[in-house]
Amino acid sequence: MNHKKAIIFLAVVWIAIIGGFVAMKEYTIQTGEEVLLKTIPVDPRDLFRGDYVILSYEISRFESDILLDFEPGDKVYVKLDTSGYYAQIASIHSEPPEGLYIAGTLKHAFGDNAMGVEYGIESYFIPENKGYIIERAQRNSENDVAVTVAVGNSGKSVIKELLINGEEVSFDEPEK
């Protein structure tokens, strides 16, 4: 491969990778159905991407006895009931069910005879040193922290926004 061909090939690969990432996520956001999930966040730090909050959802934990046929690492498809304010689990499947469902990977969870599911929407990246805004909201038990998620046809999900009491979280306020 000469250098000219190599640089053209490289440009095509990079555009495909970056464009592919954006296109896949945008497709889910634009075409997916919007659901509201209740969450309990805590905030650590990613080496390359900075501060984020770990999101643990109500739909992330199950009693292990309803998952007898599953092993950690298995794909699970969780059918969602969106009749209430927050989306809830309607049923759990090993194959994609009819209707609106979200896909995840079964994860071992410590204690309480529980199992967990990882949906790939467990991190919410926030501006540096602004985690206190979410922490402060959490300290007040009357506050509702939730996430709007776009769920695509294949069960893939993308976070759209983090909400505190129904309002999109704003990081503009000065630190106190």
Chain residues that interact with another protein, rule: CB under 8 A: 1, 3-7, 9-11, 13-14, 17-18, 21-22, 25, 44, 46-52, 54, 72-73, 105, 107-110, 118, 120-128, 130, 158-159, 171-172
Q: Which amino acid, 67?
A: L
Q: Which residues contact residue 175 at a Cβ distance below 8 angstroms, ignoring those fewer than 6 apart? A: 129, 130, 132
Of residues 99 and 120, the one with the C-beta less far from another protein: 120
Rounded to whole angstroms, the Cα distance separating 14 from 175 reads 39
Among the listed residues 104, 122, 129, the one whose alpha carbon sits nearest the alpha carbon of residue 159: 122
Nearer to another protein, 86 or 122 (CB): 122
**What's the min distance (Å) between Cβ of 141 and another protein?**
25
Judged by beta carbon, residue 50 or residue 99, the one nearer another protein is 50
Q: Kindly state the smallest distance separating residue 106's Cβ from another protein, in Å.
A: 8
Strand (E) or helix (H) holding 29: helix 3-31
